Amino acid sequence: MGSRASTLLRDEEIEEIKKETGFSHSQITRLYSRFTSLDKGENGTLSREDFQRIPELAINPLGDRIINAFFSDGEDQVNFRAFMRTLAHFRPIEDNEKGKDPSSSEPLNSRNNKLLFAFRLYDLDKDDKISREELLQVLRMMVGVNISDEQLGSIADRTIQEADQDGDSAISFPEFVKVLEKVDVEQKMSIRFLH
Amino acid sequence: MAEYWTIALLGCLSIPYSICASVELSAVKPSVLDGNVSSLPYSQPNHSASSGHHSSEGLSLFVMDYSHVKAPFEIVMWIMLASLAKLGFHLYGRLPAVVPESCLLILVGLLVGGAMYKVWQQPPPVLSTDVFFLFLLPPIVLDAGYFLPIRIFFDNLGSILCYAVLGTFWNVFGIGVSLYGICQVQSFKLSDVSLLQTLLFGSLIAAVDPVAVLSVFEEIHVNEQLHILVFGESLLNDAVTVVLYKLFKAFCKMQVISLEDVLVGISQFFIVGFGGVAVGIFFGLITALTTRFTGKIQVIEPLFVFLYSYLSYLTSEVFHYSGIMAIIACAVTMKQYVEFNISQKSHITVKYFMKMCSSVSETLIFIFLGVSTVRDNHEWSWPFVCFTVFFCLLWRALGVLFLTAILNKLRINTVTFKDQFIIAYGGLRGAICFSLVFLLDDFPRKRLFITSTIVVILFTVFIQGMTIKPLVELLEVKRTGKPTNVSEEIHSRLLDHIVAGIEDISGHWGHHYWKDKFEYYNKKYLKRILVRQNKQSKSSIVHFYEKLEKKHAVESPDSVVLTDLPREQRQLETSPLQLQPGELDTIKSILSHSLHHIRRKNFLTNIYYLGDLSIFHKQAPAYSRHTLQPDVNSDEMKEIQFRRHSCQSRQDNQDNNKLNDTNQIYSGCTRQKQLTRSCTIGPEYKSDQLHPTEATHPADRSIHRGDHPPSWTTDNQQDKPSISFEK
């Protein structure tokens, strides 16, 4: 499995991915073997069914949305580059990156991009706003059936009220960022990919 | 002003003490504190009588029969002293902010000890080891274990174990060996101290003490991860301490130490640790099972909780397992199931009583530490004492640095240098060392060891305890940051779900894999056996909601609008967002009960324990010993006030729309996004003005239990926050 993986992944590709995402060589190789193990059809891309085959994802309330986050608009296959690009959001922010000059493009795992990833999970219709209905949908998925609609509605209303500053009864991305300013997003949304 | 009160209190305190003293002068030294409550060896003829016995001269008007009640009287006096001292400190506004309570208590103990010494011309009673280990320590550990933040504890369990086990080993051997080296220096005149003795000394002085750590750390409010690292270490190192102490003590007696003795010692460590945990889990499960059946006699439910946990401690002490680990395991295990089973009032009783006991215990321990310092047989040796203190600090710092360097490679939430400094600096020694040193067999240098132990304890508690708070502020160590609003809570959950999902996709198995498996089996099997059947539903939410309703009914006028008036209207009327504390609590508890379990890896500062009924985790520090949440249950006065209020406002106009809307609700249309009060009036409102509307809502019936008065009708709906309760 390992040898097959390394022959299929060319060094130039690894370099490109490394530059784009910031993962290390061994992390990329390891994630590639994970990619291929998920790829039952062996055509170098993952489909939605491949993701859904992961058992733990099935019980994750946000499983479907997370899967959707991998697929860009209109596509229904994910190649390795896109796979890595999405996973790169969850790379821990290293200390030496914090002092990078701001003129270079923002790395994928910056706080802003992490929050953008989360924001997009709410915002299904991609209008850059989380409306009350979208919030309710996510809340309903997270909460299960124990809570009545009214209670959920009031929780959603409270959430929007707390964040909403321009009075449009929806949460825009800057408002979302502001609400989470005290939360340590960098630590929360980081996964230790083994070296 | 406060000073006058304190002086008055202390003056009142001195009166009973002077009575005791005058009586005692003619009797024997108090023997209860030496752990031996046996009868006095001799007694004065006029005190030997029991109350019914008269002297031969006939009846007398005034009889003093102190010896009859001596033992309980003295116990009560000590506890009274502790409580009054505590009270006194809190009357002094500024003092607790500067000086930690532990220091003040030791000072009080020193004063009392000094006074006793003057009065009796002999050393005051010493904290008996048995009393300490059997009576004073268990409540504190039980309190700590019961309110332990489980998620963050298990997240950091690896690091905690590392610090506790490896760190303690490192400290013990480091201190022992280096002290031996010091003793070898001829000019210090200490060469009669053998290596084994210094190792023994090292084993008892190296351990970080949970009592001291708790009392100091709860005032400095560092971030939860840091707190749990230090505190968890202080709890779990008990196993190591017990084993090493007993091992070296036995080795000191043995002539020849063979390899197999050492191996036995090492294996003993595992047995002690795991044995303690096993005993604790066993008793925890039994408690859960017992409370399943206490539905009819709720009054004694708290008793079971306390009895079984204490029993677990005692049982593990029987086998020489680690009692502390047993009681913690018991508390942690039993909490998840007992919370479901016991009634709300029992729950509150357990909470309050536990905190009360542990608070008193802790105060007593520190006072006794002060009292016991006043002795006339100290043996002082400058080099030994100074080097002991120095080595304690040095080896702890080295150990923490070294271990953290290794741990940071394996953790994702790195322990920063500031955190490391606090961990090293926060390694306080306390009463456990003190008791252990008294338990040593008599040998020529025992008094030297006792003296140095006392000095180390005083040093750590005073110097380190007092300076740690300014240092924390100086170094700007990350403090606790809890989410203050619902948005943060919800979004944090979302983030956790996302991370869990991505972890699954990337094939990253954390130790949460096993945790999830455990949760699965827990839900499927254990909960069925241990939790009462009808309680597995959301009755807790019913409780919280009901409490919230009552509370808000009383505080009605300036509540936040949460109804769904038409949008424009709402924006006009919405007052500045006032988060009612009770409402946030409700929302939080609703969320914490109902949100799915998630696999998290990086759960850092926002602590909400899924599936826990921990309504007091809202507090800033994880263990707020002295401030419990104000009880949401309204008392009688509020109830009456509410009734009066609702009677009056029923005269107000009812908005027709509102009434129509509520009618719609009760016609079963659940898709309405109406927010109305649950126990609301329905169509029967007009006819049923003075009675609780029991028949309106089917869900109401489930709320009415024996000990809850039925909820009352509401009044003006517009300015009440309302989360309706409708299925």
pLDDT in tens, B362-377: 888 888 888 888 876 7
The pLDDT, as a whole number, for residue B354 is 92
Q: How confident is the model over B619-629, as a mean pLDDT?
A: 42
- Answer yes or no: is pLDDT of A79 > 60: yes
Give A188 to chain B, closest Cα distance, Å.
5
Is this prediction's pTM over 0.80?
A: no
Provide the ipTM.
Answer: 0.89
Please say whether the beta carbons of A44 and A7 come within 8 A. Answer: no
Q: How confident is the model over B163-169, as a mean pLDDT?
A: 89
Q: Is B71 on the interface with A (CB under 8 A)?
A: no
pLDDT in tens, B421-479: 888 888 888 888 888 888 887 777 788 888 888 889 888 888 888 888 888 888 776 66
Please say whether the beta carbons of B703 and B548 come within 8 A. Answer: no
Tell me the β-bridge partners of A46.
A78
Mean pLDDT check: name the lowest of A115-119, A174-178, B316-320, B479-483: B479-483
**What letter does residue B189 receive in the DSSP assignment?**
T
> Which residue, chain included where needed, has tokens 């025992």?
B446
The pLDDT, as a whole number, for residue B480 is 62
Q: Which residue of B has its CA nearest to A148?
A: B727
Percentage above 90 pLDDT, chain B? 7
Mean pLDDT check: name the lowest of A32-36, B495-499, B583-587: B583-587
Could you tell me how far CA B507 lies from the centroid of its own chain?
38
* Dihedral angle sign, alpha carbons of residues B80, B86, B87, B91: positive
Q: Is B672 on the interface with A (CB under 8 A)?
A: yes
Residue B293 confidence class, pLDDT cut points 50, 70, 90: confident
Give B231 to chain A, closest Cα distance, Å.
22
Contact B488 A190 (CB under 8 A): no
Crossing angle (nearest 10°) for helices A25-38 and A11-21: 110
3-class SS string, chain A: CHHHHHHHCCHHHHHHHHHHHCCCHHHHHHHHHHHHHHCCCCCCEECHHHHHCCHHHHHCCCHHHHHHHHCCCCCCCEEHHHHHHHHHCCCCCCHHHHCCCCCCCCCCCCHHHHHHHHHHHHCCCCCCEECHHHHHHHHHHHHCCCCCHHHHHHHHHHHHHHHCCCCCCCEEHHHHHHHHHHCCHHHHCCCCCCC
The closest alpha carbon to A153, from A169, A171, A140, A168, belongs to A140
The pLDDT, as a whole number, for residue B554 is 55
Contact B485 A162 (CB under 8 A): yes
Chain A hits for B564, CB-CB cut-off 8 Å, are 153, 157
* Highest mean pLDDT, choosing among A6-20, B76-90, B387-401, B492-506: B387-401
Q: Is B445 on the interface with A (CB under 8 A)?
A: no
Residue B193 CB partners (closer than 8 Å, separation 6+): B179, B180, B183, B445
Contact B724 A150 (CB under 8 A): yes
pLDDT in tens, B673-700: 333 343 333 343 333 333 333 333 333 3
The pLDDT, as a whole number, for residue B352 is 92
The pLDDT, as a whole number, for residue B51 is 44
Contact A61 B486 (CB under 8 A): no
Q: Is A194 on the interface with B (CB under 8 A)?
A: yes
User: Closest partner residue to A191 among B596, B601, B724, by Cβ?
Assistant: B601
The pLDDT, as a whole number, for residue B138 is 92
Contact B505 A66 (CB under 8 A): yes
pLDDT in tens, B4-30: 555 555 555 555 555 554 444 444 344
* Dihedral angle sign, alpha carbons of residues B541, B546, B552, B555: negative
Q: How confident is the model over B98-126, as a mean pLDDT?
A: 82
Percentage above 70 pLDDT, chain B? 61
Q: Kindly state the tokens that stand for B289.
A: 């099972």
| Measured torsion, CA atoms of residues B367, B368, B371, B376, in degrees rounded to the nearest 10 | -160
